[in-house]
Structure 1
Amino acid sequence: MEGWSGRIDLPEDASTRRWHQWVRAPAPGAPPGTAVLGFACDEGVRRNHGRVGAAEGPAALRALLSNLPVLDAVPLYDAGTIACTDGDLEAAQRRYAEALAALLDAGHLAVGLGGGHEIAYASYLGLVRHLGARRPRVAIVNLDAHFDLRRQPQPSSGTPFLQALEHARAHALPVQYWVYGVSASANTRALFDTADALGVHYVRDDELGLLALPQRLVELQARLAEVDRVYLSLDIDALPQAVAPGVSAPAARGVPLEVAEPLLEAVAASGKLALVDVAEVCPPLDRDHATARVAARLLHRVTRAAWRARAG
């Protein structure tokens, strides 16, 4: 498929298969699998006065996902890319939400490839569209250095979770928002006050060291037991700049990869993960594709854990 290519090992069979050899276009009636959907957009980053370039993220992520090994027989689909080319972020988010909802309706585990973190409100709208009249308890789990709860004249990459929480409140939807990796040096007092007023659960980056990891996992698993569905969002700028340099806003500290991976896997292993997206990979700023490479690794681990949980 377009955008997918890579190494082919011999013998060419299931034991040597890589994602680029396994991916297919989704078709009506196809069995549930992992379905990627791109959101080529950084209009939200531009509005938020960040460094643009995340619109190239979906292509870069596909290139790095291509050589991942297929470790099970779960189908893999590429549902294409929704692009924002005219500055109309809101229309692009609606198109993405519609496409995402269709994937969820078909039983797929949806994987969003951003794009700026404005993908998050589009992902939330897609999940709400999929749920329809149902009212499960939903947790939005965000690994991020930032709350993204800004109040701005226009929606941007800094507003998606405030938009989601306000939409949920207006429609009486039981939605919780949890943020892991928040930086005290990257969020104003007003943002912390907003988070507190909205009942947001957050854990700072300096509370996510290796020594604290066992307790953080126990706390996270207890919270996961109290919800029905999970939307997981990974802003790659939550990782240290040395690990993820190619982002709009590099982290001065960040969450170590050896902590981030178990946290993300715990979410996926809950068996409640409906969708995951990755945001803020900015290829023009990404030396040696380091950021796209680590994002691909995390998606590989999350999707496998999610399917193992679904299989019981």
Structure 2
Amino acid sequence: MKPAKHLNPPALQYAGGKGDPYVTTIAEWIEKPQADMSYDLCVLGVPLSKSSISFSGAHLHPATFRKLWSNFTTYHWDLDLDFTQLRAVDFGDIAMHVTDIATCHQNIQETMQEVTTTYPEIFPITVGGDHSITAPLIKGRKAANGKRIGIIQFDAHLDVRDMSYGGPSNGTPIRNLVESKTVKGEDIVTIGIRNFVNSRLYRDYTEEKGIHVISSKQVHMRGIESVIKEAMERLEACEEVYVTFDIDALDQSFVPGVPAIGPQGLTTDQLFSSASTLGAWSKVTAMDMVCVDPSVDLRDITSRVSLHLFLHFVSGLCQQ
């Protein structure tokens, strides 16, 4: 079964292997695609990092993410919840061109459009790759259903760089979506902005477009629950909400394997709590995780964080 034209099986596939009849690992839970089967959520890999402004090995993340599936189980202790009640499938990786970023982005957009059209009830979770992939993913959903889409972005950066300087990159997805009229500025909430990684002119741009920004310091002062509640209230008028997690929103002490490592970021507890809450919100219909570079990581620490982010989000989906 090939779920969409540009999708290919992962280059490496890790067998679950039933070592204990009383334990279900993530590798056992997530299935390979089968014809005539209905699924609640799908995993899409996007191994792209050519579009990163700084050097990044984020194209390696989908493979490392999958490699860790055999290390963790489907049971959430604090919630006393096992999410094997959901059917999950790995649709594989979207095909990337060797050199042409525009073709890569077109493949991403067409794949998301096809998946959304063919499987309207499935929840797509995309594993990047750099943050440039978010723009074509959301454009694909917009092309498929025409709905008013809101965005909740967790990021240290505004991602509104001028695209006339180098074209679409990991620093441009929000501007790309606003200027293409895919998403309205007032339908975007960005959480986790840090000091010394943005500019005054780009702050002016976000304010002009009506993008609501909450800094990491504000999150620490107010509490993540208050911030997420505000974000949800602001996007209540949207027909659906897309959540994008740039892992560099986290403090460098938690994620050594991100290209834009830096202090004063969010904590893993704050991000995991956000993922659970937003996963349980019925208005959220798709999610991605980007900017993890396994080539500079230590013992897969950062990939383990992204996997736990995924698991907390899925725990939220179980509570819808």
Q: Same fold (TM over 0.5)?
A: yes
- Matched residues in 2 for 1:159 and 1:174: separation? 14
Deviations 1:214-253 (A, max 9, x none): 4323323322433221111110111111111101110221
Q: Which moved more, 1:238-247 or 1:267-276?
A: 267-276
**Partner residue of 1:108 out of 117, 122, 137:** 122
- Matched residues in 1 for 2:139 and 2:189: separation? 18
Contact 2:151 2:188 in 1 (8 A): yes
Number of aligned residues: 298
**SS of residue matched to 1:181:** strand
**Residue 73 of structure 1 corresponds to which residue in structure 2?**
85
Asked whether 1:60 is paired with 2:26, we answer no
- Matched residues in 1 for 2:71 and 2:101: separation? 32
Deviations 1:139-183 (A, max 9, x none): 1111000011100331111111111111126xx879711110011
**SS of residue matched to 1:266:** helix
**Partner residue of 1:4 out of 1, 14, 17:** 14
**Compared with structure 1, are the counterparts of its residues 29 and 101 closer, same or farther at alpha carbon in structure 2 (3 Å cutoff)?**
farther
**SS of residue matched to 1:298:** helix
Asked whether 1:293 is paired with 2:304, we answer yes
**Compared with structure 1, are the counterparts of its residues 228 and 51 closer, same or farther at alpha carbon in structure 2 (3 Å cutoff)?**
same
**Residue 40 of structure 1 corresponds to which residue in structure 2?**
47
TM-score, normalised to structure 2, is 0.86
Contact 2:185 2:209 in 1 (8 A): no
Return the offset for 1:264: 2.4
Q: 5+ unaligned residues in a row in structure 1: which ranges?
A: none
**Compared with structure 1, are the counterparts of its residues 29 and 128 closer, same or farther at alpha carbon in structure 2 (3 Å cutoff)?**
farther
**SS of residue matched to 2:181:** helix
Cα RMSD between the aligned structures? 2.1
- Matched residues in 2 for 1:67 and 1:255: separation? 25
Asked whether 1:124 is paired with 2:135, we answer no
TM-score, normalised to structure 1, is 0.88
One-letter identity of the residue aligned with 2:193: V
**Residue 22 of structure 1 corresponds to which residue in structure 2?**
29
Deviations 1:168-210 (A, max 9, x none): 26xx879711110011321011111111111101100111116
Contact 2:186 2:212 in 1 (8 A): no
Asked whether 1:270 is paired with 2:253, we answer no
**Residue 189 of structure 1 corresponds to which residue in structure 2?**
200
**Residue 88 of structure 1 corresponds to which residue in structure 2?**
100
Asked whether 1:166 is paired with 2:173, we answer no
- Matched residues in 2 for 1:117 and 1:126: separation? 15
- Matched residues in 1 for 2:296 and 2:17: separation? 25
Return the offset for 1:211: 5.1
Deviations 1:75-134 (A, max 9, x none): 111111124342211211111222222332312110111111111112112211221xx3
One-letter identity of the residue aligned with 1:219: E
Contact 1:94 1:122 in 2 (8 A): yes
Return the offset for 1:280: 0.6
- Matched residues in 2 for 1:68 and 1:109: separation? 21
Q: Which moved more, 1:240-249 or 1:15-24?
A: 15-24
One-letter identity of the residue aligned with 2:71: N
**SS of residue matched to 1:77:** strand
One-letter identity of the residue aligned with 1:162: R
One-letter identity of the residue aligned with 1:164: L
